[in-house]
Structures are given as structure tokens and as C-alpha cells.
Amino acid sequence: MISLLWLIPVLPLTGFLLLAFFGGRLSRWQIASVGCGSVGTAAVTTAIVAADFFRTFPDQESYHQTLWNWIDTSGMTVGISWYLDALSLLMVAVITGVGFLIHVYSAEYMAHDDGYARFFAYMNLFVSAMLTLVLADNLLLLYLGWEGVGLCSYLLIGFWYREPEYGTAAQKAFIVTRIGDTAFAIGLFILFTQFASLSIQQVQSRAVEAWPVGSNLAMIVAVLFLIGAVGKSAQLPLQVWLPDAMAGPTPVSALIHAATMVTAGVYLIARMHHLFALAPMVQEVIAVLGLVTLLLAASSAVVQTDIKRVLAYSTMSQIGYMFLALGVGAWSAALFHFLTHSCFKALLFLAAGSVIHSLHHEQDIFKMGGLRRHLPWTFWTFLIGAAAMSGVPLITSGFYSKDWILWSVWSSPISHRWIWFGALFGAMLTGLYSFRLIFRVFFGEVRTQPAGEPGLAMRGPLVVLAFLALTVGFLEMPHTLGNVTVFSDYLSHALPTTELLPGIDESSEAREQLAVTVAALLGIGLAALLFLPGSLFTSRWADQSTDHPSMTLLQGGWGFDRLYDRLFVRPWFTLTRYPHDMLDRGYEWLAVCGKSCHGWMSYTQTGHVRWYAATIAVGTLMLLGLFAM
């Protein structure tokens, strides 16, 4: 049954093709069933494949399937072939599972939109491309999925194409990520030139053989791959596209810009961990980038007014945690945070979508409030999501994953203490901005009257995700709390286990966990203090003055947009202002010269026959004279 693997990406693709060609002729109900059904069957297939995979699991760590040879010429052999191991199975499970829930949710959320079929077509295409990305056996096929998800992201951000700003946001997302993709592609060129192969496993085993740790080429390739990952995962310095990407419909933000696509960078680095292990300096860079991004994004999230932008910045910040974990070599911790994050962030986005839906597409949190009683389902699920994101201890999944990351940072031999403190501060900020949202949106007086609780198709996924956001964390619990290691045992077959500093013991782990708990609770408490209506400082902070320079700086994501505008965008527009070809000017000049010469010569053409006769005579005489000489 494991040979059904190829069906997993093909099923959503079939859905896409059906919707693309016959979408116009299907009823809404049929569209939704095709759209959700294709992803749902993919999820079921995943379950079947996974069952088969686990049957033989520890003995046979990976499963390889080649459909056909994609490129097979002149020393290059690349197949359309799938590679299933613990890591990709995890990704596939998340993509199909969360993807299915979001599809179901969208069936109701998008119900009144003109482009219903188009929406599901794009979403199905996205799922297919994302599955290709994670299942790819070779880097070229991975690149196919990589670009494919980029395209779908572009299409879905610009889904409401009549708004020019949305189009700009979509283009921005595609172009910024394309810069990363290009670096990634150059990395592929180098790897292929060196190892005559693009198979992920082969390349890495050859790299380990050929390159010593810290060798130049390994560093260069790792940096190039990192740029690619940074672009996709919206990390510094290519993070600017993600907040604008919120222009797309909310389920898109949930699926693409929270749960799956933006974590592709994490997947890439984890997938290429042998390579990154050869470049320890690059790993440090990853850790620092992750830390800086998580702090910048978290601080920006605190002051955003648009509910989706808050979540966008929080996504950047959470992916920053994953990068941090990758940077310190805690591969499994990063993936664990990916798992919990995709549950609670998808939940948060969907719940936010539910809020937006019932408030008639109002996204400004200052125009919300008091929704607790009107939208109880939404409130409770949102609360669970926010709690998980802030890492409320013991009961939420976010706590276990974040704790694991911070513990790894604390105990890793390739980390520094200040990184840990930074991450801890980030955890505090996470609590602050998560609960700022809760208090702003669900407490206080009602500013916009909601239309009422959404229907079953939207509530169902919310509840399932809320359940997951609470329970997924129990897959991995630290020594101090039960010592469950299901997740790390499972992933240890695909990723190396985290190294610990010598001499670290359980008591220090308990102390560290206490610090994380305190930080998260401190953040929540601060949020309550500052934003809970009726509390001490709320009146002073309620009419947050947004024109203060530091506030604008924070709201604009630390001014990166403006910086890039000055550095790249404006020079580029200056460069492309004139549609004229300078080389063509040269030829035109030649033509003008020829024309004027011709004009000058044509004065000799008087039209007088006698003049012509005379010139003939003179010419003849001159020729005769020439012969005479």
C-alpha cells in the first residue's frame, strides 16, 4: 500500500485540473466537494501510506518511488521520484491534515465569492506543489515544488485581483521570494557541478565525503540554500513580503502563510542538515538570523492594528524560533515547533477569519471588542490558539515545543547565552501580543456589531485544530515532565539528535523551564495590565498614539520596507523608466546620418537632362584621362 505514495500529490493536482477546466460548469456544492475531497482523499492516502510505512518503519527508514525519468541526458539524471522518510511523512501529514481542515473551512468562508472555483483550484494546486516539495527525492523536483508554492502564493495573495494594492502585494511576495529562489538555484548549480547528481541523499553523502567541515564550498552552498530558505520563510532580510501577503483571503493566510509554505525554509534546512552541519558558521548565522527575526517581528506584532498583520508578524516570529532551533542543531525541536505552530497558527488565522467574517470584513482590532459573548466558539478556540502560541505551561502544545527549543539553545554547544536571553524575551513578547489580541477583540465594549457565529463547516475545523493545539504537545515532553520522547524518537531516524553541552543536568533544565514559564506568563500579565479593559493602564494606552516615530517604525516592521524602497525599488524604477533602447538610438542615428547624406547627394539630382549629360561627359573625360595616364 505504500506504493500509493504517488497518489498523494497527484490527487490535489487532479482536483486542480478538474476545477480549472470544469470549474465554471460546476455548482458551488460540487466545487467545494471536489476541492475538499481531493485534499481529503490525499489525507486518507497519507494515513494508509503512513500505516504501511510504520509497519516496517525502523527497519526500513525510507521509501523511494520513481515515476519516470524527468531529465536524463548528458550526465544528468533527475527523476520524478518521491522519497518518504520520517521527516517528509511528518510534513505530508501536516500539509494534508491541516490543509484538509482549512479547505473545509474555506468552503463556507468563501461561499459568497465570485471566484469560488478559482479559489479551490489555486488551493488544490498549492497543496499539490507543497506535497511535491516535501516528497521530492531530488533537489530539482524540490525546486519545482518550491517555485510552485511560490506561484500559488502569488495567485492567492492577489486573489481579489481588482484591488491594485493586493496585486502589488502579490508581486512583492513572488519577487522577494524569487530572489531567495535564485540563490537556491545557484546552490543547485554548484552542487551539480561538484557531485554530478541532484539526489538529496546522494549529494549529501558525497558532500560529507568530499568536503571537510568548514570548507569554503560547503559554506557557500549552505549560505545560498539559507538565502533560499530565508526568502520562503520570511526571515531577515527577506521578510518584507509576509505582512503584505495578508491581502489574500484568510484561509490562504492560514494554509500558506502560516502552516505550510512559509515553513518550507525550515524543511529545506532540516532536509539538508548534513550539508549545514558541514558549515558551522552558517549554522550560527541561522541562529542569529532566527533570533533577530523573532525579536523584530514580535516587537512589531505588539503594535499592529490589523488583526491579520499581528498574526503575520507572529508567524515570522515563530518561524524565527524554528530557525533558531535549526541554528543550534536542534533539528527535531524545530520540526516539533513546526508541527505545533501549524496547528495553533492555522487555528488562530481561522478564528481570526471567523471574526473578520462575522464583522463584515473588518480587520482593525481597534474597531473590535466584546466579541466574547457573541462569538463563543470563536473566542474559545482563539483563546486556545493564543495560549498555545504564548506557551501557557503544561496544557498547551506551544509550551512544549518552545520549551524544547529554548532548552536546546541553553544546552547546545554551538550556542551562546545571550541568544537564549533574547529568545526568552521573545517568549515574553509572544505572550504580550497574543493576549493583546484577545483582550482587544473579545473583551470590552462592542464596537462593531457581529453578524453571528459561523456555520458548522467553519466551526468544525476550529474545534479540531483547537484540540490539536492543546494535545499535539504531549508527543514530546521533557525529562522533568513525564519524559515522553515519541516525536524525537520518530524523527531520530531522519535527523540527528541534538547534542548537549557536557555537564548539563536535569536541575538546570527545570530552572530553565521555570524561566520560560515565567516569561510567557509575564507577557500575558503585561497584556492584561495594558490592554484588558478596566485594568490599570488601559485608559492611557487605549488611544495608542500611532504617530509617534518609534511607533511608526515598529508598525512598519522596523522600516525595512522603506529601506528597500530607497535601496532597490526606486533605483529600479528609475532604471526602467525609459522604454527606449539605447542601442537602438545608435542605429537610428546611423539612419538619420544616411538620410541627411542622401539628402545632400540628391541635390545633384537636378532633374535637368542636360546636367546629367554633362556629368556623363565629364565622367567619361575623366575616365579617359585616367586611361591615358
Partner 1 sequence: MLSTPALVLAIMLFALGLIGLLSRRNILYMLLSLEIMLNAAALAFIAGGARWGQVDGEIMFLFILTLAAAEVSVALGIVLQLSHRFRTLDADAFCELRG
Partner 2 sequence: MGLWLLILIPILAAPFAWMGQQWSHHAPRWIAIGALAVDCLLALLLGSRDHAVQASGHGAWLVESHIGWIPRWGISLHLGLDGLSFILIILTAFIGVVAILASWTEIQSRIGLFHCHVLLALGGVIGVFLAIDLFLFFFFWELMLVPMYLLIVIWGHAQRRHASFKFFLFTQAGSLVLLVAIVALALLHQQATGHPSFDYADLMELTLGSEMARWLMLAFLIGFLVKLPAPPFHTWLPDTYTEAPTGATIILAGILAKTGAYGLLRFTIPLFPEAMSDFTPIVMGLGVVGILYAAVLACAQTDIKRLVAYSSISHMGFILLGAFAGTELALQGVVMQMVAHGLSTGGLFLLAGALEERYQTREMGQMGGLWSVTPRLATMALFFACASLGLPGMANFVGEFLVLFGSYATQPIMIILVSFGMVMAAIYSLGMMQRTFFGRQQDTRSVPDLSNVAFGTVLLIAVLQIWLGLYPKAVLSTTQPVMEQLVRAAGALPTLSHAPTESLWSSHIVALQGDTP
Site residues (CB under 8 A) for partner 2?
Answer: 20, 24, 68-76, 80, 114, 140, 143-144, 146-148, 151, 154-155, 158, 161-164, 167-168, 170-171, 174-175, 178-179, 181-183, 185-186, 188-190, 192-196, 206, 209-212, 572, 575-579, 581, 583-584, 586-587
Q: Name the residue nearer to partner 2 (CB basis): 583 or 601.
A: 583
Considering CB distances under 5 to 8 angstroms, the limit depending on partner class, which of partner 1, partner 2, none binds residue 609?
Answer: partner 1
Considering CB distances under 5 to 8 angstroms, the limit depending on partner class, which of partner 2, partner 1, none binds residue 478?
Answer: none
Residue 367 and residue 358: Cα distance in Å, rounded? 13
Residue 408 and residue 474: Cα distance in Å, rounded? 18
Q: Name the residue nearer to partner 2 (CB basis): 192 or 467.
A: 192
Q: Which of 210, 395, 591, 617 binds partner 1 (CB under 8 A)?
A: 617
SS3 content of the chain, % helix, strand, coil (to 5): 75, 5, 20
Q: Which of 75, 549, 579, 607 binds partner 1 (CB under 8 A)?
A: 607
The C-alpha cell at 468 is 490539536
How many of the other CB atoms lie within 10 Å of CB of 549? Answer: 7
Considering CB distances under 5 to 8 angstroms, the limit depending on partner class, which of partner 2, partner 1, none binds residue 603?
Answer: partner 1
DSSP 163-208: -HHHHHHHHHHHHHHHHHHHHHHHHHHHHHHHHS--BHHHHHHHHH
Q: What are phi and psi of 238, to 5 degrees?
A: -110, 35
Segment interacting with partner 1 (CB under 8 A) among 5-13, 17-25, 415-423, 597-605: 597-605
The C-alpha cell at 459 is 466551526
Q: Name the residue nearer to partner 1 (CB basis): 549 or 599.
A: 599
Q: Does 190 bind partner 1 (CB under 8 A)?
A: no
Q: Which of 575, 609, 626, 628 binds partner 1 (CB under 8 A)?
A: 609
Q: Is 361 left (phi over 0), alpha (psi -120 to 50) or beta?
A: left
Segment interacting with partner 1 (CB under 8 A) among 46-54, 146-154, 402-410, 596-604: 596-604
Q: Which of 606, 619, 622, 623 binds partner 1 (CB under 8 A)?
A: 606
DSSP 543-607: T--TTSHHHHHHHTTTTHHHHHIIIIIHHHHHHTS----HHHHHHHHHHHHHHHHHHHHGGG---
How many of the other CB atoms lie within 10 Å of CB of 568? Answer: 11
Considering CB distances under 5 to 8 angstroms, the limit depending on partner class, which of partner 1, partner 2, none binds residue 211?
Answer: partner 2
Segment interacting with partner 1 (CB under 8 A) among 324-332, 485-493, 544-552, 613-621: 613-621
Q: Which of 185, 214, 209, 212 is nearest to 195 (CA)?
A: 209
Least CB distance to partner 1 at residue 621 (A):
10
Least CB distance to partner 1 at residue 629 (A):
20
Q: Which of 216, 545, 574, 605 binds partner 1 (CB under 8 A)?
A: 605
Residue 567 and residue 193: Cα distance in Å, rounded? 33
- State the distance between the two ends of the chain, measured CA to CA, in whole angstroms: 101
Segment interacting with partner 1 (CB under 8 A) among 29-37, 151-159, 167-175, 609-617: 609-617
Residue 412's identity, in one-letter code, is S
Least CB distance to partner 1 at residue 616 (A):
10
Residue 502's identity, in one-letter code, is P
Binding site for partner 1 (CB under 8 A): 599, 601-610, 613-614, 617
